[in-house]
Amino acid sequence: MAHVVLGTRGNRREWFVIDRPVGQGLPNMPEDVLLVQFFLRVASEAARGYAGFVPPGEPPLVIDGKYGPHTQQYILFYQNEVNRRMNMKQLQPDGRIDPILPGQMLSGLTQTVYTIIDLNFAYRSRRGDAARIEVDPLFPQALRARFCI
């Protein structure tokens, strides 16, 4: 299930993370998919002069907790587009969102930032560091009680 990890790294007081991987052929637990879809939907909004992360010609991502081809397109586009915009391999463009290891921001296997961590940053860049995720109008009702901190 999606959950919050409290921490003191940088100016972040919490990280919103998943417990099981999301992607093609993976567990895709509904609460984890809801959180990923929410973050991707917010990331699709333009911010600070940059275009949102929307695959060309695709409609807005539906936040329904169901993993499918549309969610997969958004994940892959986000990973590839972050790398393109950063002009470096910041994320592993593998179409999956993995849970983090405690205290880690980088995958030990690929030495890239966990996509779920990067999505947390994308959320803050669009909503601000003081934003409270549980009251965001797009935040899924099914996750609100879990994220009241």
pTM, whole model, 2 decimals? 0.92
State pLDDT tens for residues 94-138: 999 999 988 788 888 889 999 999 999 999 999 998 888 888 999
- Measured distance CA(40)–CA(146) in Å, rounded: 19
- Measured distance CA(122)–CA(11) in Å, rounded: 15
**pLDDT for 149 beyond 70:** no
- Measured distance CA(46)–CA(38) in Å, rounded: 15
**pLDDT for 9 beyond 70:** no
- Measured distance CA(31)–CA(16) in Å, rounded: 12
The position carrying tokens 């860049």 is: 125
Which residues neighbour 65 within 8 Å (Cβ) at sequence distance 6 or greater?
30, 31, 33, 34, 37, 140, 142
